[in-house]
Structure 1
Amino acid sequence: MWAALQRLPFPLILQGIGAVSMFIPAIHAYQLRYLFTARAFLYSGLIFSVLFVMLAIALSSRDRPARVRGQLLGLTGALVLLPLMLAVPFREALRDTSLTHAWFEMISCLTTTGGSVYGIRLLPPTLDLWRAMVAWMGGLLFWVSALAILAPLNLGGFEVISTDVTAAGRQALRERRSGEAGERLWRYTQSLAPIYVGLTLVLWFILSFAGHAGTTGAILAMSTMSTSGIVPGTLDDLGLASEMVIFVFLFFAVSRLTFRRDYVTRERGDILRDPEIRLALVLLVTVPGLLFLRHFVASIEAEETATVAEALRALWGAVFTTLSFLTTTGFVSASLEEARTWSNLDSAGLILVGLSLFGGGVATTAGGVKLLRIYALYTHGVREMELLVHPNSVGAAGSSGRRLRRQGAFVAWIFFMLFAITIAACTAALSLAGVDFESAIVLSIAALSNTGPLATDAAAQPIPYSGLTPLARAILAMTMVLGRLELLAIIALFTRNVWRS
């Protein structure tokens, strides 16, 4: 049976998984006696499951093996069309909404952006659970796709460190490109899915032990692992204990080495020597320090007094929020909100925007430019300044380090420029769609970095997605897909080598 499933088109497999997953909210709604919601998910799950079986039978006899090109095209199409299917039970359960609103909600969840068109509106618990489930499945999808689809094409950040000048690098290239595309996808799913599911269950158990209800703990656990930042509408505060637990699990979005050995060099190495971890630790020291100093100076000027405990809570809030936005999750600590009250300062929105642009690690659920690309540009800049002082010096760090500073930095710079151009294009398109300039910039960065909470936490005034025009929401939806796949992957679809492979 598994061999037959491997031969099915990639989008059809995703459609089947989405259809089967609808039965979980149906059971949840039935337990809570939301019978109308339960019927909406049950009937939708049955209809789409039957549709999947019919299509699978019709396509089961095809012998043509799946290719990376087809899977990349399928992944792109699935991100646009699959949310339509996932939006059907959501639309049926929430009778006073439209299908376009539900489609935007699902595409925001599937890309792990987490922006909600419903704002602070209290949705039924089952719909909050469904949003978190879609985001969680999207996180697992991109965890696996990064290694099974993007890595063989040297995309998704792997182009910065991929090398064939060492024995380990050549072995990694052969392993990433070995076998058919469907076999690789199944192999990485078997390897990564148990880790992803296990970490989510552990976090869910700890959050439940910390005092959260079962549904709330599950939503927070799935939102943390998928870096979607989705929280139930009834939750006002995460709580200090929950923030500390979530803080630890957010590190799985900083570097792929936190959950698996390096798929590029095939070496385990020391995790503290990983450039993504080191850069994240530097940011976790400097950015919270600047935020705390900002609030401290403002409180002195305003002649406000604060206890040592309040100051420590403010510092913790800055640390937690920094890591949250660095991983493009978007949780804001309640302690940071308290710091704003005694310092009389608004949110440091520009800093949060910058952290989201940095993004998390390669082959993780985080979005943004990615820390590895930032590190490559940094090492290149340091080396160029060394050459200004000592023009004849020879750089250290071996052949892999030299490649990171040269070819890696070159590709990272190209990606950074494409990223900036995309932000400018999206901002212009949103402005033409009736959005003011400042809001257009924040929304563009929020969509392209897959950090939906930026719209409410980074702007001077919260920007409701529900107040946007349908055209503006469609532009943001396409930008979310572009940010999740990365522009280099879209460009790769039009290259001759991909179509010839």
Structure 2
Amino acid sequence: MQRVLNIPLLVILMGIGALAMFVPFLHAMALRDWMSARSFFYSGLVFFFLATLIGIATYNGRARNLARSHLMALPICFLCLPLMLAVPFDEAVRDTSYLNSYFEMVSSLTTTGATLFDDPARLAPSVHLWRALVGWLGGLFVWITAIAILAPMNLGGFEVLATDGLGGGTRFGQDSVRRTDPRERLMRYSLQLLPIYTALTGVLLLLLLIAGEDPFVALCHAMSTLATSGISPVGGLSGAQAGVPGEMFIFAFFIFAISRQSFAPDQRGEGWRRLARDSEFLMALLCVALLPAFLFLRHWIGAYDVDDQQNVAAALNALWGSIFSVLSFLTTTGFVSADWAEARDWSGLQTPGLILLGLALTGGGVATTAGGVKLLRVYALYKHGVREMEKLIHPHSVGGAGARARRIRRQGAYVAWVFFMLFALSIALVMTALSLTGLPFEDVTILSVAALATTGPLAEVAGEQVIRFAELGTAGKLIISAAMVLGRLEALAIIALLNPEFWRQ
């Protein structure tokens, strides 16, 4: 196992991706789908052989700065690895282009869940399994790299809690190279988090089976829930058989995309004991309590007197549809409750999906598979705003709550605001690029947020009409693919690579 550390990270990921191709191969063999089986078997064999040769050629080729090389490997992985993962997809789905296959794999690997195939019946079951498996592996990769690579550099949301100023994380990353080999951190956290990630997926799979779900659909939905990819072989939860019990089980597992305290104790060993007081968890509870209540109570505020909405069953369905969908999009999973249509009609709003758009922008927890701005950054901005309002009333007051709270209100809020501005500029840049392809403003806005927040299903529910990724041209698909990678990596990680101090030894 120690010898694996001497191989470049990208080559290791190539080998893992090639081995993963044998899973849909075995599934296709069981279904006697010989076309899909051959596509995945030959692709897995060729790419694993290629990864082995590259691994031998690059063995012991230690980089001068491992932290920098691993950070550089992240954008390369999300951009280049789908080139390999798209080959069996393209071979198995004969009536599509390689660009479409690449788009699907970028969407799956970044856990975005955007798809060009609106009709699930167009893809073979083994191809659906491949999409869900790539999304699941992408979520695991995000889990591990967030703690093993981004955390020591004060990136990915950890900069809000860091004692260094803006950019101090890159200097910290260089110091950590001298103290701890980043490759050992990757191996240690991989061995620690992989059993947890797999076990949670297995538990949710078992619960969905108990709820009456089809085994294949249950497996795909379990993997998509833990990875927050929202990938479904039946077009979403509306096509599932588990019903409300299945949605309740999925709802419970959204907690692992809200706070890292739920699955990986931090360096102070807080874990589950601090979950009830965790700021990200409390903010998520606030969203889940207030927004569904607003959608539910607006029925009477707006004086909607439709007879079929006055019974208790319709009210409960509408309330549950709102609660589930709010948390689903807050975690950037994108699963829509089967009762969301009931909730939309109950609220009387023409486009309640815009609320889901804002939730996806907010995002989930730091060091989770969720995308978006992240709850911790929003919390830092909130605390800074509250403190500034207090100073308007009492200009000479002194803020309390300890050194950590003061750091979040000051340096943390400053860095969070910088990231928020970068995120807003990213949205403006993607919108400008998509506008040049001839798309209308509303579609451009929704598609940009969906890509940067890694929440592909937003295109189906955020606007008045369903927006289809398949209708995009070649330029539009490439722009969305780049935006998904940018949203998954976050702008601060890209800027860290451009920092001159990060390149000096």
TM-score class, shorter: over 0.9
Give the alignment of 1:239-250 within 5 angstroms. 239-250=243-254
1:488 aligns with 2:487: no
Contact 1:253 1:360 in 2 (8 A): yes
Letter in 1 for 2:6: R
Corresponding position of 1:186: 187
Deviation string 1:107-146 (CA, Å, 9 cap, x unpaired) is: 0010000000112342211111100000000000010000
Contact 1:66 1:182 in 2 (8 A): no
Distance 1:395 1:332, change over 3 A: same
Corresponding position of 2:135: 135
Contact 1:164 1:173 in 2 (8 A): no
State how far apart, in whole Å, the 1-side matches of 2:303 and 2:129 are. Answer: 40
Contact 1:330 1:452 in 2 (8 A): yes
Deviation string 1:175-195 (CA, Å, 9 cap, x unpaired) is: 976411111111111111111
Q: CA deviation at 1:59?
A: 1.5
Corresponding position of 1:300: 304
1:439 aligns with 2:443: yes
Q: CA deviation at 1:297?
A: 4.3
Deviation string 1:355-392 (CA, Å, 9 cap, x unpaired) is: 00110000000000000000000000000000111111
Contact 2:24 2:130 in 1 (8 A): yes
Deviation string 1:307-344 (CA, Å, 9 cap, x unpaired) is: 11221121111110000000001111112212345666
Give the alignment of 1:372-391 within 5 angstroms. 372-391=376-395
State how far apart, in whole Å, the 2-side matches of 1:497 and 1:175 are. Answer: 12
Structure 2, gaps ≥5 residues long: 166-171
Give the alignment of 1:1-12 within 5 angstroms. 2-12=1-11
Letter in 2 for 1:290: F
Corresponding position of 1:273: 277
Letter in 1 for 2:28: A
Corresponding position of 2:151: 151
Q: Give the match's secondary structure for 1:459.
A: coil
Letter in 2 for 1:35: W
Q: CA deviation at 1:232?
A: 1.0
Contact 1:302 1:343 in 2 (8 A): no
Deviation string 1:182-234 (CA, Å, 9 cap, x unpaired) is: 11111111111111111001111111121112211110000000001111136
Give the alignment of 1:452-471 within 5 angstroms. 452-471=456-475
Contact 2:296 2:347 in 1 (8 A): no
Contact 2:11 2:51 in 1 (8 A): yes
Distance 1:296 1:222, change over 3 A: farther
Contact 1:328 1:356 in 2 (8 A): yes
State how far apart, in whole Å, the 2-side matches of 1:11 and 1:413 are. Answer: 32
Corresponding position of 2:125: 125
State how far apart, in whole Å, the 1-side matches of 2:225 and 2:375 are. Answer: 19
Letter in 2 for 1:218: L
Corresponding position of 1:168: none
Q: Give the match's secondary structure for 1:435.
A: coil
Q: CA deviation at 1:483?
A: 0.5
Contact 2:257 2:331 in 1 (8 A): yes
Give the alignment of 1:43-62 within 5 angstroms. 43-62=42-61
Q: CA deviation at 1:272?
A: 1.0
Letter in 1 for 2:335: F
Structure 1, gaps ≥5 residues long: 166-171
1:19 aligns with 2:23: no
1:72 aligns with 2:71: yes
Letter in 2 for 1:205: L
- Counterpart of 1:401 (choices 400, 405, 409) is 405
Deviation string 1:401-453 (CA, Å, 9 cap, x unpaired) is: 10000000000000001101110111111000121111000000000000000
Identity over aligned residues, as a percent? 51
Contact 1:148 1:185 in 2 (8 A): yes
State how far apart, in whole Å, the 1-side matches of 2:93 and 2:265 are. Answer: 44
Corresponding position of 1:109: 108
State how far apart, in whole Å, the 2-side matches of 1:299 and 1:28 are. Answer: 53
State how far apart, in whole Å, the 1-side matches of 2:55 and 2:186 are. Answer: 18
State how far apart, in whole Å, the 1-side matches of 2:432 and 2:329 are. Answer: 25
TM-score w.r.t. the length of structure 1 is 0.95
- Aligned pairs, number: 494
Greater shift in the superposed pair: 218-227 or 202-211: 202-211
Letter in 2 for 1:385: M
Distance 1:175 1:285, change over 3 A: farther
Corresponding position of 2:324: 320
Q: Give the match's secondary structure for 1:60.
A: coil
Distance 1:101 1:279, change over 3 A: same
State how far apart, in whole Å, the 2-side matches of 1:356 and 1:365 are. Answer: 13
Q: Over the residues paired in the alignment, what is the CA RMSD in angstroms?
A: 2.1
Distance 1:489 1:343, change over 3 A: closer
Corresponding position of 1:40: 39
Distance 1:390 1:340, change over 3 A: closer
Corresponding position of 1:169: none
Q: Give the match's secondary structure for 1:394.
A: coil
State how far apart, in whole Å, the 1-side matches of 2:7 and 2:64 are. Answer: 9
State how far apart, in whole Å, the 1-side matches of 2:152 and 2:218 are. Answer: 36
Deviation string 1:147-166 (CA, Å, 9 cap, x unpaired) is: 1111111100000012379x
Q: CA deviation at 1:349?
A: 1.6
1:233 aligns with 2:237: no
